[in-house]
Amino acid sequence: MKPRPSARSGPPFRRVLVANRGEIAVRIIRACRELGVETVAVYSDADATALHVRLADAAVRIGPPPPTESYLRIEAIVEAALRTGAEAIHPGYGFLSERAAFARAVEAAGLVFVGPPVAAIEALGDKLAARRLARSVGVEPVPGTLEPAPVDAAGDLDALLAAAEEVGFPLLVKAAAGGGGRGMRRVGEPKDLPAALAAGSAEARSAFGDGSVYLEREIRPARHVEVQLLGDRFGEVVALGERDCSIQRRHQKLVEEAPAPGLHPDERRTLHERAVALGRAAGLANAATVEFLRDEAGRFWFLEVNTRLQVEHPVTELVSGVDIVHEQLWLAAGAPLSAAVREAAERALDPDRHAIEVRISAEDPGRDFVPTPGRVGVWRMPAGPGVRVDTAMEAGERVPPEYDNLIAKCIVVGPNRATAIARLRRALGEAEISGIQTTLPFHRAVAADPAFAAAELSTDWVAERYDPRGDWLRAARVAAVAAGLAAIGPRLAAAAPVASAGSPIGGDPGSPTAPSTSVSGARTRRDPHPWRRAGREAALDRWPDRWSG
């Protein structure tokens, strides 16, 4: 191990460019400001007035809305950093965050890439390379192929089918580059394999610029558990803890929590040790996440490594007490792992807190999570003890169709899982969004589900436990009651124009300035049509697509 420099002093950088948008750009800008680091934002025409642009010390336009013409333009982003005097570039997650070519271009320009070194990205970011590396250090990957599958299988069909039979059906065709379920196809029987290879490769090439795909056994049911790593340039790698990310749809995470519930201390230690061994073998410096699948027999299989900051990093922060973005910046500046990080890694084996994150997205869970871009009306996020919200959204802003649908992350923490779930229910009940359909109804259903409370988790949870028709029917019943009450409300008010304290009706129902009384008895400004408003909130604001037109 190389000798260590002296302790940290002063800001890690003078100025950092944030090569991203939305909530993660805001998150990084705030972390930089806390460390005394100036920031540069980049933006497309769709984000000209976005919060991350307004928070940064400087901002540079990099193109029109399509990502290929803006946030994926390596040359434009590097040029923006050089032009504004930035010393480093933080890629956030998504976009260019796991592209070795981007990290290489940043370093070639004399700038610092806030993430793992190019060699580690190449060794771990490519899923096939990562699978081979894992096996070399005794970490067993999910059964599957270790080399790219021939997409044009006309001349290799027999060999390919033999390899598929060895993997076992059903299996998955997966992209070697990138993630998020893109390029992935499920294959139930041999005859469907050639078409799945072609389709998966085409999607992977479009999304990641690399059409390489491979075969992997489908493990079902399974739990998805991942380990957060931090490493420095002096050879030290530690695990800050693990997260359970089993509740997913189309292989994209919806709910994440830390620590993973139900793990025996020996299981947790073994899992952390495997992840650390893989990180060390790859020469990891900075942040990365090692993902595993846990099968019905309790065996952990290595899945992949994300060589970047994860969307769900806040749950680990709230349990460990470590600001991961702060650490990323210090590690990129050449500092060693701090004593606080090493102590947090030791505590991770016996955590004393529990955190849960839900991803609030502009999607309709009642229609298989179809995207629902549009303009936000009411935007009211929860607060209070143990509640954190990461977002860049504000009332009146538009959710553009060109980018990811994530608009906020609601994270709660408590001394144990039961408290965290109760806090999550309370927080989701406070959240209010109108104008677009969001995943709030789904998250409320999860938080109230007894199977979730019992930690009965798997990657099939959504298909097995969530029935969106129940939410729709509840909204319909509330709307029907509200409509009836709206019709008789004026008659009730006329019959009893003066109400006692605590009554839901008081004053002139036609006067918008007359006082009214809330459920708690507090005097508030009079709403002339309270039941009509309640019906609209229950039906229109929560399920706009069902009640428009």
For the chain, which domains are there? 15-114 (3.40.50.20), 143-217 (3.30.1490.20), 223-468 (3.30.470.20), 471-547 (no CATH)
User: What pLDDT sits at residue 501?
Assistant: 36
The C-alpha atoms of residue 298 and residue 79 are separated, in whole angstroms, by 49
Phi, psi (deg, nearest 5) at residue 482 = -60, -40
Q: Where are the beta strands (DSSP E) in 321-435?
A: 354-361, 363-364, 370-371, 374-375, 379-380, 387-391, 398-399, 406-414, 432-433
367 a catalytic residue: no
User: What pLDDT sits at residue 431?
Assistant: 98
User: What pLDDT sits at residue 51?
Assistant: 98
Output DSSP code: residue 11: -
H or E, element range at 113: strand 112-113
Residues 6+ apart with CB under 8 A from 154: none
User: What pLDDT sits at residue 131?
Assistant: 95
Residues of the chain scoring pLDDT < 50? 1-4, 497-549
The C-alpha atoms of residue 354 and residue 261 are separated, in whole angstroms, by 9
**Of 243, 308, 388, 546, which one is the catalytic site residue?**
308
pTM for this structure? 0.84
The C-alpha atoms of residue 295 and residue 453 are separated, in whole angstroms, by 20
Query: What interhelical angle do 265-281 and 127-136 show, nearest 10?
Result: 110
User: What pLDDT sits at residue 157?
Assistant: 76
The C-alpha atoms of residue 437 and residue 459 are separated, in whole angstroms, by 24
User: What pLDDT sits at residue 206?
Assistant: 82
Strands 252-258, 354-361: pairing is antiparallel
User: What pLDDT sits at residue 8?
Assistant: 81
The C-alpha atoms of residue 290 and residue 297 are separated, in whole angstroms, by 20
CA distances from 384 to 298, 387, 444 (A): 37, 6, 18
Paired with 172 in beta bridges are: 186, 216
Paired with 361 in beta bridges are: 406
The C-alpha atoms of residue 47 and residue 536 are separated, in whole angstroms, by 30
